[in-house]
C-alpha cells in the first residue's frame, strides 16, 4: 500500500513538473524567436537611456519582460505545489500560457522581424514596449490620473449603490418612490449625461467622477435591493424570537444575506465604471489613459495606443483580483457550498 502511494505521488509530481515546464516553454520560444530570428525588415532599433547608467533597446526590454514572466510562473509553480487547489488551478492554465508564449513568438516575427502585419496598426510586442522607454514618465502620469479618477468615482458609486439598495429593499415607501427612478435612469448610458455633467459641475474631473458614480450606482443598488428583499422570513422570525430589534434585523440578518448579491453588483459595476472611465477620458479629460490613447492616435502612434491598452488590461485585472480577494474574505462561509 505504501509503495503504491509512493508511486502515485511520484507520478503526480512528474506530471506537475512536466506541465510547469510547458507553462514556461511558450515564453522561452518567444525569447528564442526574438533573439535568433534575423531582423529582415528595414527598421531602426534605437537604444534608450534608462537612468544615467543603462542603455537598452526594445528587444532587450522585451526579453527582460519575458524572463520576468518565466520567473513569475516558476515561483507560482513552487508556491502552488503544496496546496491541492492551487496546484490544480495552476495545472489547468498551463496550456493557455504555452499558447500565449507561442502567439507572442509568431506576433514578434510577423510584426517586428518581417513587418508582414499592416503597419502602423499592428506593431510587434517589442515595439509596443517602446512607449515605456520613450515616455515612461508620461505613461505613469496618465495611469495615476486614471487610477485617481476611477477610485474616486467607483468608491462613491459603491457607497451610493449599497446605501440606496438597502433603503429600497428594506423600506416599502422608499421602494415605491425611488425604484421607478432607478429603473428609468439606470438603463441610460452614463456617457449620455456628459453634456449636463460638464455644464453643471465645476471641473472635468468632477464631471467624470459623476459619470462613474452613476454607472456604478445602478447595478449595485439593484442587486443589493434584490438581496435585501429576498431574505427569507424565517430568518427574521428566528431573530425576533431571540429578542432582536429592527436594527439587528437589518444589519445582522438582511445585509449579510444580501452580501453575495452586493458583490455581484460590484463586479458588474466595476466593468461598467472602467468603460465609462476610458470614454470620459477620451471625451474631455486633461489626462488619463483614454486621453493618452486619443493623443497617440492623432499622430498615428498605434504602438502607444496598444501600450495604453496593455496598461488598462493589467489595471483592470488587478482591480478584479482585489475585489475577488475581498469577496472571498467576506463570503468565506460559502467555501465548499458553491461551485468555484
160-186 tens-digit pLDDT: 999 999 999 999 999 999 888 888 887
Q: Are 285 and 208 a contacting pair, CB within 8 Å? A: yes
**SS3 category, 86:** helix
Going from the C-alpha of 96 to that of each of 27, 78, 189, the distances in angstroms are 11, 19, 35
* HSE-up of residue 40 (Cα within 13 Å, Cβ side): 10
C-alpha cell at 110: 510577423
> What is the predicted pLDDT for the residue at 84?
85
| Spatial distance between the Cα atoms of 105 and 92, rounded to a whole number of angstroms | 22
pLDDT digits (tens, 9 = 90+) for 180-232: 888 888 788 888 888 888 888 888 899 999 999 999 999 999 999 999 999 89
Could you tell me which residues come within 8 angstroms of residue 230 by beta carbon, excluding any fewer than 6 positions away? 257, 258, 261
The confidence band for 11, taking pLDDT boundaries of 50, 70 and 90, is low
The confidence band for 338, taking pLDDT boundaries of 50, 70 and 90, is low
The confidence band for 1, taking pLDDT boundaries of 50, 70 and 90, is very low
Q: Are 172 and 164 a contacting pair, CB within 8 Å? A: no
Query: Measuring CA to CA, which residue among 189, 163, 152, 335 is closest to residue 265?
Result: 163
- The label of the residue with cell 516558476 reads 74
pLDDT digits (tens, 9 = 90+) for 41-77: 888 888 888 877 789 999 999 999 999 999 999 999 8
Query: Measuring CA to CA, which residue among 212, 255, 221, 253 is closest to residue 236?
Result: 253
Alpha helices in 2-115 (DSSP H): 2-36, 58-80, 84-92, 94-108
Domains of the chain (ranges, CATH numbers): 2-128 (no CATH), 135-334 (1.10.3720.10)
The confidence band for 109, taking pLDDT boundaries of 50, 70 and 90, is very high
- DSSP class of residue 252 equals I
| Spatial distance between the Cα atoms of 264 and 338, rounded to a whole number of angstroms | 14
The confidence band for 4, taking pLDDT boundaries of 50, 70 and 90, is very low
- The sign of the CA dihedral 284, 285, 286, 288 is negative
Q: Are 305 and 293 a contacting pair, CB within 8 Å? A: yes
Going from the C-alpha of 248 to that of each of 193, 234, 236, 243, 333, the distances in angstroms are 39, 15, 10, 10, 20
Mean pLDDT computed over 315-324: 90
- Given a cut of 50, is residue 3 above it in pLDDT? no
How much of the chain exceeds pLDDT 90, in percent?
52
| Spatial distance between the Cα atoms of 158 and 240, rounded to a whole number of angstroms | 30
Going from the C-alpha of 114 to that of each of 40, 51, 268, the distances in angstroms are 6, 31, 41
Average pLDDT, the chain: 88
Amino acid at each position: 500500500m505504501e509503495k503504491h502511494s509512493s508511486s502515485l505521488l511520484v507520478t503526480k509530481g512528474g506530471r506537475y513538473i512536466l506541465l510547469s515546464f510547458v507553462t514556461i516553454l511558450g515564453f522561452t520560444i518567444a525569447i528564442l524567436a526574438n533573439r535568433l530570428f534575423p531582423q529582415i525588415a528595414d527598421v531602426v532599433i534605437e537604444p534608450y537611456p534608462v537612468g544615467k547608467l543603462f542603455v537598452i533597446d526594445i528587444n532587450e526590454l522585451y526579453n527582460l519582460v519575458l524572463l520576468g514572466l518565466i520567473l513569475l510562473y516558476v515561483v507560482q509553480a513552487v508556491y502552488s505545489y503544496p496546496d491541492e487547489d492551487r496546484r490544480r488551478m495552476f495545472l489547468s492554465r498551463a496550456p493557455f500560457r504555452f499558447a500565449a508564449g507561442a502567439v507572442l513568438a509568431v506576433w514578434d516575427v510577423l510584426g517586428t522581424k518581417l513587418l508582414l502585419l499592416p503597419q502602423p496598426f499592428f506593431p510587434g510586442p517589442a515595439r509596443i514596449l517602446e512607449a515605456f522607454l520613450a515616455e515612461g514618465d508620461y505613461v505613469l502620469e496618465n495611469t495615476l490620473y486614471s487610477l485617481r479618477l476611477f477610485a474616486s468615482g467607483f468608491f462613491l458609486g459603491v457607497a451610493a449603490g449599497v446605501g440606496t439598495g438597502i433603503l429600497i429593499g428594506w423600506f416599502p415607501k422608499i421602494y415605491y418612490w425611488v425604484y421607478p427612478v432607478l429603473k428609468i435612469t439606470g438603463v441610460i448610458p452614463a456617457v449620455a449625461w456628459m453634456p449636463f455633467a460638464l455644464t453643471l459641475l465645476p471641473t472635468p474631473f468632477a464631471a467624470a467622477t459623476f459619470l462613474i458614480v452613476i454607472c456604478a450606482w445602478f447595478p449595485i443598488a439593484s442587486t443589493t435591493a434584490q438581496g435585501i428583499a429576498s431574505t427569507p422570513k424565517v430568518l427574521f422570525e428566528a431573530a425576533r424570537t431571540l429578542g432582536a430589534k429592527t436594527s439587528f434585523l437589518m444589519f445582522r440578518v438582511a445585509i449579510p444575506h444580501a452580501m453575495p448579491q452586493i458583490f455581484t453588483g460590484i463586479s458588474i459595476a466595476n466593468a461598467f465604471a472602467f468603460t465609462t472611465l476610458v470614454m470620459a477620458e477620451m471625451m474631455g479629460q486633461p489626462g488619463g489613459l483614454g486621453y493618452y490613447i486619443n493623443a497617440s492616435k492623432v499622430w498615428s502612434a498605434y504602438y502607444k495606443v496598444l501600450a495604453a491598452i496593455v496598461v488598462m488590461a493589467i489595471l483592470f485585472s488587478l482591480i478584479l483580483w482585489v475585489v475577488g480577494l475581498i469577496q472571498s474574505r467576506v463570503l468565506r462561509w460559502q467555501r465548499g457550498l458553491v461551485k468555484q
